[in-house]
Amino acid sequence: MDGNGRWAEGRGLSRHQGHRAGVESVRACVRRCGELGVEALTLFAFSSENWGRPPEEVGFLMDLFLDALANELEELDAKGVAIGFIGNRQELSVRLQSRMLEAEERTRANRGLRLRVAVAYGGRWDIVEAARKLAAQCASGALGVAQIDEARLAAALALADLPEPDLFIRTGGERRISNFLLWNLAYAELYFTDVPWPDFDSARLDEALAYFASRERRFGRTGRQVKAG
């Protein structure tokens, strides 16, 4: 969800106002995914690299995140959305960790859209954490080194409970993944748009989904094999 700050600066507004405008786009896209029957949506809200931003901006983002949780939880729960969070929670305030846990527990039994929010998350951190889990199992004797394969490593990642992503969307004009879901995105379709996140509404999401629908997904096979089923 990139481009909040640049969107605001281009309008003579503060970066804070850009981040607030971005919350409206989150709301619109979550609702649209629910309407379309999308199974899972993961939002990259705050990366492990974002801690390097000015302290006042980081503080504002954390407060905004708290406010959004408080304001949106009831509606999300009523619509059957199951909320989860991925990332290094130990870097977050105790208050924020508590709110995140509350949201997860309240919506755990919901069977609608599975919404995951990445906070203090990095793809490299995710892979390292998975490797540490497997190493600990090997050290305890519960797992043999020869038993480690792609499936076991994938099962130790933060999004192990979700299917592999089909579509990656990045707004704001940048053409890179920026340390997001590095393992998981191996076969995802990549969609980049110059539209900044505050302008990315449900109609823009539909455009991204139309692009995805136009793609031939081969997963290493030939086009003829795909057509043959």
The question of whether 50 is a catalytic residue gets the answer: yes
Give residue for tokens 């939880």: 73
In the chain, where are the structural domains located? 4-213
CATH class of this structure's domain 4-213:
alpha beta
Task: Answer yes or no: are the C-beta atoms of 49 and 177 closer than 8 Å.
Answer: no
3-state secondary structure of 25: helix
pLDDT at residue number 9: 95
Higher pLDDT, 229 or 84: 84
Between helices 202-214 and 15-36, what is the axis angle to 10°?
Answer: 60
Encode pLDDT of 120-140 as tens digits.
999 999 999 999 999 999 999
- What percentage of the chain's residues is helix, strand, coil (to nearest 5)? 55, 15, 30
pTM of the full structure: 0.92
- DSSP assigned state of 93: -
Largest CA distance in the chain: 60
pLDDT at residue number 217: 83
Please check the confidence at residue 225 and state whether its pLDDT lies above 80: no
Encode pLDDT of 26-69 as tens digits.
999 999 999 999 999 999 999 999 999 999 999 999 999 999 99
Q: What integer is the mean pLDDT of 16-35?
A: 95
The question of whether 149 is a catalytic residue gets the answer: no
Q: What integer is the mean pLDDT of 187-204?
A: 97
Other beta carbons less than 10 A from residue 101's beta carbon: 12
